[in-house]
Structure formats: structure tokens, C-alpha cells
């Protein structure tokens, strides 16, 4: 390097932000980078010597169809959840069907579409989900911190989805469409149908946060 040349990046630590707003922005960006780093850690160290390894997108699809309610177990709903095109989502689903981890069934409520179900082999694969390590790390937090962390992530998800004009996914138990005033079982105003216990913890493409529903 000649005496007149300059390094590509500054070699000294930049001065601190001049105001609190800039400092807050830097801290928020660092938090966002940490979230992305956690995502890389989840799948970066996975080893699957006995069976064919899954890509992060395939793991996402397998988890999604295991948790989605009957209204949301479709390739188009998964494409919205995964924030990708329907063509890309369809290819991911097809690859998992070919591996025997998902299967396509007739949709009794809508003959124009099919429902995607997780096969017994798919449920067995989910027992070795690499996301479990991250879940264990979160579970190790004290209950108050864990509750606050989960609530904060939910709020961030809603804000970002609205900014992107994307659907907000969530559980029926937390949804504004869920009517608990019925004597027998909770009632979904959107599906116009009752909800059983399993569906109360399921993901839904028509989720509407209860606190924001008018």
C-alpha cells in the first residue's frame, strides 16, 4: 500500500452518536443482527447422517404444516407465512412430499384446493428439529424474562408484517376473531365454525391480533 492510499475501512472506532435517537437506532440494529445470527446458528451446525438433510426452508415448511389450523394448511397460506412466492413455496412442499414427510389430501371445505398434512415420517423428523436447541435456550430464561421476550417478539412481528403489508400469523387463542362467549366451545367468526382445544394453539393465516381488532 502506498503512502497516499487509504484503507477500505476506518481503522479507528467511530465517535459515539451525538444524540440519543442515533444511539437507539444502533442498538436496535444490533438486536436485529443478533436475531439473524440466531437463525444461522440454528441450522449452521445441524448434522443428519442417517437421513437426507433438510434445508432451512424445508424445516420451516415442516414446522408450519405441523402447527397450522385446517384453514391454513395450504401451499398458498405457507407462501404468505414464509414470505415467498407461491411458486417457490410449492417447490418446497413438493420436495417434502417426495421425501415422504408431507402428503396432499383433498380439502373437504374447498374442492379447488388441497390440504397438506404431515406424515408419520414427518412427525418423526420433527423430533430432531434443530430449532429445539434455541427453544431450550429460551426456556432457560426466568419466566418473567421469557414472557416479556415472547411478547416483544410478537409485537415486532406484527409491526414488520404490517409494514410489509403481509399477513400476521398467530394462534387462535390470541386472535380477535375468537369468540369465547359461546357456552360449548370457542367460536371462530372468520371460519364461522367452532374451535377445539388443538386449534386454539394452531397458526392461522386469517389471524387478527385481539388488541388491534375493531
Q: In the chain, how many domains are there?
A: 1
Domain harbouring 100, CATH code: 1.10.10.10
79 belongs to a structural domain: yes
150 belongs to a structural domain: no
* pLDDT for position 6: 43
Q: Quick check: 113 pLDDT over 50?
A: yes
Q: Quick check: 96 pLDDT over 70?
A: yes
80: left (phi over 0), alpha (psi -120 to 50) or beta: alpha
CA atoms of 61 and 102, how far apart (whole Å): 9
34 belongs to a structural domain: no
* pLDDT for position 181: 79
Q: Quick check: 42 pLDDT over 60?
A: yes
CA atoms of 5 and 73, how far apart (whole Å): 58
pLDDT band for position 26 (cuts 50, 70, 90): confident
62 belongs to a structural domain: yes
Residues 6+ apart with CB under 8 A from 186: 172, 178, 179, 180, 194, 195, 200
pLDDT band for position 16 (cuts 50, 70, 90): low
209 belongs to a structural domain: no
Residues 65-88 pLDDT 10s: 999 988 889 998 899 888 889 999
97 belongs to a structural domain: yes
CA atoms of 63 and 146, how far apart (whole Å): 21
Domain, as residue range, for 84? 53-130
Residues 136-194 pLDDT 10s: 999 999 999 999 998 898 889 888 888 888 777 778 778 888 888 776 778 888 777 77
Rounded to 5 degrees, what are φ and ψ at 169? Answer: -90, 145
104 belongs to a structural domain: yes
* pLDDT for position 135: 92
25 belongs to a structural domain: no
Burial (Cβ within 10 Å: 0-12, 13-18, ≥19) of residue 3: exposed
* pLDDT for position 203: 83
CA atoms of 144 and 150, how far apart (whole Å): 10
Chain mean pLDDT for the chain: 81
Q: Quick check: 90 pLDDT over 90?
A: yes
Amino acid at each position: 500500500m502506498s503512502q497516499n492510499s487509504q484503507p477500505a475501512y476506518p481503522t479507528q472506532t467511530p465517535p459515539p452518536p451525538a444524540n440519543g435517537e442515533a444511539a437507539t437506532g444502533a442498538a436496535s440494529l444490533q438486536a436485529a443482527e443478533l436475531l439473524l445470527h440466531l437463525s444461522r446458528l440454528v441450522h449452521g451446525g445441524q448434522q443428519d447422517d442417517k437421513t437426507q438433510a433438510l434445508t432451512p426452508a424445508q424445516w420451516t415448511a415442516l414446522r408450519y404444516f405441523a402447527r397450522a389450523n385446517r384453514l391454513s394448511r395450504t401451499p398458498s397460506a405457507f407462501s404468505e407465512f414464509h414470505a415467498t412466492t407461491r411458486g417457490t413455496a410449492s417447490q418446497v412442499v413438493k420436495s417434502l412430499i417426495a421425501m415422504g414427510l408431507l402428503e396432499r389430501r383433498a380439502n373437504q371445505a374447498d374442492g379447488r384446493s388441497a390440504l397438506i398434512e404431515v406424515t408419520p415420517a414427518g412427525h418423526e423428523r420433527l423430533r430432531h428439529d434443530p430449532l429445539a436447541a434455541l427453544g431450550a435456550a429460551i426456556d432457560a430464561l426466568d419466566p418473567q424474562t421469557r414472557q416479556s421476550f415472547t411478547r416483544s417478539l410478537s409485537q415486532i412481528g406484527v409491526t414488520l408484517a404490517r409494514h410489509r403489508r403481509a399477513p400476521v400469523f398467530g394462534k387462535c387463542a390470541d386472535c380477535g376473531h375468537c369468540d369465547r362467549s359461546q357456552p360449548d366451545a370457542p367460536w371462530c367468526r372468520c371460519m364461522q365454525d367452532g374451535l377445539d382445544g388443538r386449534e386454539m394453539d394452531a397458526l392461522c393465516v386469517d389471524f387478527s391480533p385481539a388488541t388491534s381488532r375493531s
